[in-house]
Amino acid sequence: MRPVSRLMLAGSAAAVLWVAAGVAVAQDAQGAQQGAERAASGAQGPAAAQAAPEGAGERGLAAGDCRMAAEGFAADSAASRDPALAYRATEIAKACEHLPAAWQSAQRLLVLDPENVDALRLAGTVALEMARYEDARRIFRGLLSKPDVEPERALRDILPPLADGDLAPAAWQVFKDSLDRATLSPQVLSLLARMACTADDLASCQSLIDEARARDGGRDAATIRLAATVAAARGDSDRALAEARLVAQGDPANHRFAVVETLAALDRRDEARAEVERIASEPDQAVEADRRLALLALADGDTAEAERRFAGRLQRQEGSGEALFYLSLIAERTGRTEAALQGYQQLVNAGAGLGPRSRAARLLVRRGEAPAAMRIFDAYLRSGRADFIDTEIARARSLAEGGMHAEAVQGLDLALERHPQHPQLLYQRAVELDAGGKTDEAIKVFEALLASRPEDAAVSNALGYTLADRDRQLRRAEKLVRAALAQRPDNAAFIDSLGWVRHRRGKSREAVPLLERAWRLSREPEIAAHYGEVLWKTGAKNDARAVWTRALVVSPDSQPLRDTIQRLTGAQPVAPSAGPSPPPGTSKP
């Protein structure tokens, strides 16, 4: 499958713990223009820039035009020998998410100030964003080999922001073979373990944790919690629960519910609920326990129980924003569209982030009120708190879910005028072209994106999956997906893609264990659709129904899932009522 959010997603395996732990209802992200202004106001690194005559970059900032500013500063720095100007130009282009201008300015910075540690770090980060792995390796190796740099201290500074975010998969490809592990401290080994886990390389993550512990490290709460995550994702329930109990006992203030979350990740929901109820008897945990029980009820499809608990939390003003969001979500799932919209709108009026806005917009588009939906996103962008790229992708998805694929593509084209060649916008553009029946054009976009980012696993997987899903170039499709998995071997979406392409190539029985593994790593409804379809076509129809039943509990409004079930069974799918569903394995292929 193609991941539907940011192109460089955090690892699916890392997210396996407590998928329903909560939805943020407010965001603090600054707008791109504000970020550019911050970068312009005082870049660090090379010596502070001297007062200079106003150039094209300054004129762009004054006009409030991020693209003009990024390209103007890149041109200004190319004509100057001032490294501080090149540093500033790179930061402004990064803040404006104009990656080509950022890379142009970063290359100029390397020419002008190749020995400056801050300049090297900034340029290396831009190389990661551009998926230029060999350039990033060269830059970071140069930084760490400088005689005045202590590698251990530098790594403790460089690795934390790269270990957990969107750049973790790229950073892992750069650092995994660039460092001599024998020389690393337990702290740096633990940071690398976090990076490996986020990059969907669970075996390496576990190996690094073990190395840290062999050197009397890796016993901090964060690393123990990570060890539980890895063990759960790899299906080692005993180790996962042992690690979770250890961190819950050692740091109860921050990890009291670690065992609950691990049981949920292992899909042992009844045990998770019993553990929450046990913890609820502790006076200082009753409020959080009630929240967890509400989330578990929702994950089990018991909307009545979940609604009762969230309504109580709202009345008691316990996490009111979250409670209102979930009450709106329940109303949406139970067909009370007007109540759902009212709830989402309350959150929007209170300054909520992209989640409630996106859900409100989708409902409006579906009932023919697309202009009102677009105004929700426009207002968010004007607030200065929105991430432009994420907002435009959410806008496109809202239109597409209402069948307005052409309008979604048009909106992305406008966004690309402001952020030329942005990989996430191009990725989403290809997705919407394909969904709108323009597969040839979609493949061309993916091909061009892969040509510009040949080492990007997400792009390789997306092209491979698209080819397989449309029964085209199946041998090449499999090669592309396997190349992606070589980088991120435990990414659920990529494993799903391999299972799907094997199915398309007539190897359905070989596809079953792949899809089962993808489904265990991530409860994405599209994975359930694929897994159930392959089970169905290999004769395991009861198992297929069990997978679909579980998926409908978690994602009752997934259209790809519902379409698959109706196409194969001839019946309109109905979300099951509360209660556990039987596990796959009750029928023979």
SS3 of 235, please? coil
Q: State the pLDDT confidence band at 573, using cuts at 50, 70 and 90.
A: confident
* Structural domain includes residue 122: yes
474, 505 Cβ separation under 8 angstroms = yes
Measure the CA–CA gap between 384 and 425, rounded to whole angstroms.
Answer: 20
HSE, CB side, 13 Å, CA atoms: give it for residue 552. 22
Q: What CATH number has the domain bearing residue 384?
A: 1.25.40.10
At residue 261, does pLDDT exceed 80? yes
Asked if the structure places residue 123 within a domain, the reply is: yes
Among residues 149, 182, 213, the one where a domain terminates is: 149
> What pLDDT score was predicted for residue 125?
98
Domain assignment present for residue 177? The answer is no
φ/ψ region of 351 (left if φ > 0, alpha if ψ in -120 to 50, else beta) reads left
Separation CA 532–CA 546 (nearest Å): 8
pLDDT score for 34: 53
pLDDT 10s digits, 328-340: 999 999 999 999 9
- Counted residue by residue, the chain has a size of 589
Supply the pLDDT for residue 29.
29
- Residue span of the structural domain in which 396 resides: 353-437
Share of the chain above pLDDT 90, in %: 86
365 in Cβ contact with 399 (< 8 Å): yes
What are 267's two structure tokens? 């899909």
> Three-state SS across 334-390?
CCCHHHHHHHHHHHHHCCCCHHHHHHHHHHHHHCCCHHHHHHHHHHHHHCCCCCHHH
Nearest to 280 by CA among 291, 271, 270: 291
Name the percent of the chain in helix, strand, coil, to the closest 5.
70, 0, 30
Round to whole Å and give the CA distance between 213 and 61: 50
> Can you tell me the distance from the alpha carbon of 546 to that of 33, in angstroms, rounded to the nearest whole number?
49
> Last residue of a domain, which of 115, 149, 183?
149
Residue linked to tokens 């660039």: 178
Structural domain tally of the chain?
A: 2
**Is residue 13 predicted with pLDDT exceeding 80?**
no
Chain-centroid distance of CA 4 in Å reads 9
Please give the Cα distance from 117 to 143 (Å, whole number): 6
Residue ranges of the alpha helices (H) in 178-268? 186-198, 202-214, 221-233, 237-250, 252-255, 258-265
pLDDT at 50: 46
Q: Token pair of 201, please?
A: 């390389």
What pLDDT, in 10s, does the model give residues 44-61?
Answer: 566 544 444 579 999 999
> b/e per residue, 497-511, with b = 16+ CB within 10 A?
bbbbbbbbbeebeeb
Which of 387, 407, 437 is the endpoint of a domain? 437
Distance CA 318, CA 313 (A): 5
Is 102 domain-assigned? yes
Cα R_g (the chain), whole angstroms: 25
Q: In angstroms, rounded to a whole number, what is the distance separating the alpha carbons of residues 212 and 539?
A: 47
CA distance 518 to 200: 12
Note the pLDDT tens digit of each residue in 61-105.
999 999 999 999 999 999 999 999 999 999 999 999 999 999 999
Which band of pLDDT confidence, cut at 50, 70 and 90, is reported for residue 450? Answer: very high
* φ/ψ (deg, to 5) at 329: -60, -40
Residue 96 forms part of a structural domain: yes
What is the rounded average pLDDT of the residues 7-30? 30
Q: Is residue 403 part of a domain?
A: yes
pLDDT at 283: 83
Work out the pLDDT band at 574, boundaries 50, 70, 90. Answer: confident
Q: For position 17, what pLDDT does the model report?
A: 25
d(CA 563, CA 566): 5
Residue 428 belongs to a domain: yes
Contact partners, residue 459, CB within 8 Å, separation at least 6: 7, 423, 427, 446, 449, 450, 453
- Please give the torsion angle defined by the CA atoms of residues 126, 128, 133 and 134, in that order, rounded to the nearest 10 degrees: 30
Separation CA 564–CA 236 (nearest Å): 32
User: How many angstroms separate the CA atoms of 484 and 354, rounded?
Assistant: 29
> For the chain, how far is it from start to end, CA to CA, in angstroms?
24
Is 390 strand, coil or helix? helix
Mean pLDDT of 12-40: 37
Comparing 21 with 308, the larger pLDDT belongs to 308
Q: Which pLDDT score, from 0 to 100, does residue 47 have?
A: 54
**pTM for the whole structure:** 0.89
Q: What is the pLDDT of residue 3?
A: 75
The answer to whether residue 230 sits within a structural domain is no
